[in-house]
A and B are shown apart, each in its own frame.
Chain A
């Protein structure tokens, strides 16, 4: 289990900050969704939280320890990140690829232990990849490659899972299965933080939202409180209308013709 503290965090590219300083605490057991339009900095935030980019100001702490001071292996046992793009240039099998998730759990000279093998098998089973385990990871479909990447993260067994657009390339069945699985992990006490394009997935699964507006402002809080028509219009630059019931609210963007009738 792990918690994340963002303390006056400014993140961005080449010295150019994308937001005003963000101060948020994400605790174990919470499911966070990060929302924002393209270019608002969702992926940059994820990379910064995983220690791949230095903050432009402020700091990120994992369980109270500044992550810039943590050895990579220690950090990898506490916090994992699913990147949007994976590079597959060499002929590893799906099982070998997923086994890489155990790197942080063993010294380099020790082969995979029984515990490591079990974690890999669980990850393959949870992502429906057992039947593909011996195929080459560079020869399976785009959706299956995405599931291989997710299985690698699951085999890593970090306390906090950061997921950058995890459902890209997935069909609806695998999308729902995966989001259910992440919800289950949060219920079991792990911290889940997901960047999403789909506001309805956020509405269904997330307890808490971090909304990154294009003007550099941000808001964080309970999903039910933050998901309002005004805020979503501010977030995406187009009006969204709430439909469905209070129990399962659903957000529909209004196209030009609908808007003109409002």
Chain B
């Protein structure tokens, strides 16, 4: 019982930290504070792949590996169509993400419709973002620590990259190299987070926004504090989700959406978009 609770708390911390960091990196890549793994459909891609593996009876690394491939694919589509170019309007980015998320949602519905076994209920819970079935948080924590070290070293370059590729390049950033590392890190963190706990939305949006409000936008501060606050935030939400307020248990992903959707709408209203 104690070990299960510890695994759940540590997984919650790892997943919250990974989603927050993935959010920060996607916001750098796409130069908008509205970018986030769930909103852009990257989590949806990873969840679709994970679900397909479960239905095929494949587990472990199959789920992580296929989730990573679809995360990379989803992010690449958003990036190529939505644009990291400073001249491309940001509505296009958001719309591309929305369309990708809708596409993956359709894939998930189709996969669930094809399955008739009793495990569908369990899969539905996983798809809503659930930490109660956590087994081993260690891979997530190790990956998070390594990603944080890489992010910390890149932090000054990230501060320049958010101003656009040309500005970063003239100030001395090897833009393509840094973007590639950001892109791979964001996809790996999203894929691992989804593998561990299913697609949990809005952590990567809410947490960096709160940290920026209190501590500013410098990535040397923003990245470690987003990881820390993201970990605490999701663990806290999970604790609230476990309270016996209503019959049955609420997946933590539902609570995260209840908090995240108003924050997203508020930020959308406040953010200058239009390129």
Q: A89-B33, A91-B216, A108-B156 are in contact. Are A72 and B86 (CB under 8 A)?
A: no
Interface with B: A27-35, A75-83, A223-231, which one?
Answer: A75-83
Of B33, B86, B157, B174, which one neighbours A90 at CB under 8 angstroms?
B33
Give Cα distance in the complex from A92 to B11, angstroms: 33
Q: What is the chain A residue whose CB lies nearest that of B30?
A: A89
Q: Map CB proximity to A onto B159-171 as digits: 1 under 8 Å, 0 otherwise.
A: 1101110110111
Give Cα distance in the complex from A100 to B174, angstroms: 14
CB within 8 Å of A: which B240-275 residues:
271-272
Give Cα distance in the complex from A72 to B192, angstroms: 33
B154 at the interface (CB under 8 A from A): yes
Do A51 and B169 touch (CB < 8 A)? yes
Give Cα distance in the complex from A173 to B255, angstroms: 55
Do B172 and A73 touch (CB < 8 A)? yes
Give Cα distance in the complex from A90 to B222, angstroms: 12
Q: What is the chain B residue whose CB lies nearest that of A80?
A: B170
Q: A103-B156, A103-B160 are in contact. Are A92 and B170 (CB under 8 A)?
A: no
Q: Map CB proximity to A onto B75-93 as digits: 1 under 8 Å, 0 otherwise.
A: 0000000000010000000
Q: What is the chain B residue whose CB lies nearest that of A110?
A: B156
Do B212 and A90 touch (CB < 8 A)? yes
Chain B contacts for A109, CB-based, 8 A: 153
B52 at the interface (CB under 8 A from A): no
Q: A106 to nearest B CB, angstroms?
A: 8
Do A83 and B162 touch (CB < 8 A)? no
Q: A242 to nearest B CB, angstroms?
A: 36
Q: B94 to nearest A CB, angstroms?
A: 13
A93 at the interface (CB under 8 A from B): yes
* Residue among B27, B172, B174 with the highest chain A CB neighbour number at 10 A: B172
* Residue among B31, B156, B157, B164 with the highest chain A CB neighbour number at 10 A: B156
Q: Map CB proximity to B onto A103-136 as digits: 1 under 8 Å, 0 otherwise.
A: 1100011000000000000000000000000000
Q: A87-B163, A90-B33, A103-B156 are in contact. Are A52 and B86 (CB under 8 A)?
A: no
Chain B contacts for A77, CB-based, 8 A: 172
Q: B134 to nearest A CB, angstroms?
A: 34
Q: What is the chain A residue whose CB lies nearest that of B222?
A: A90
Give Cα distance in the complex from A101 to B170, angstroms: 10
Q: A162 to nearest B CB, angstroms?
A: 9
Do B217 and A50 touch (CB < 8 A)? no
Give Cα distance in the complex from A85 to B162, angstroms: 14
CB within 8 Å of A: which B86-130 residues:
86
Of B163, B171, B218, which one neighbours A104 at CB under 8 angstroms?
B171
Do A100 and B216 touch (CB < 8 A)? no
Give Cα distance in the complex from A109 to B220, angstroms: 10
Do B172 and A104 touch (CB < 8 A)? yes
Do A85 and B159 touch (CB < 8 A)? no
A71 at the interface (CB under 8 A from B): yes
Give Cα distance in the complex from A155 to B164, angstroms: 19
Chain B contacts for A152, CB-based, 8 A: 171
Do B171 and A103 touch (CB < 8 A)? yes
A96 at the interface (CB under 8 A from B): yes
Do B170 and A108 touch (CB < 8 A)? no
Q: A47-B166, A87-B163, A89-B162 are in contact. Are A101 and B154 (CB under 8 A)?
A: no
Residues of A within 8 A of B (CB): 47, 50-52, 71-73, 75-77, 80-81, 83, 85-93, 96, 100-101, 103-104, 108-109, 152, 156
Name the 8 nearest CB pairs between A and B, nearest first.
A104-B172, A76-B172, A73-B172, A90-B217, A87-B164, A81-B170, A103-B172, A72-B172
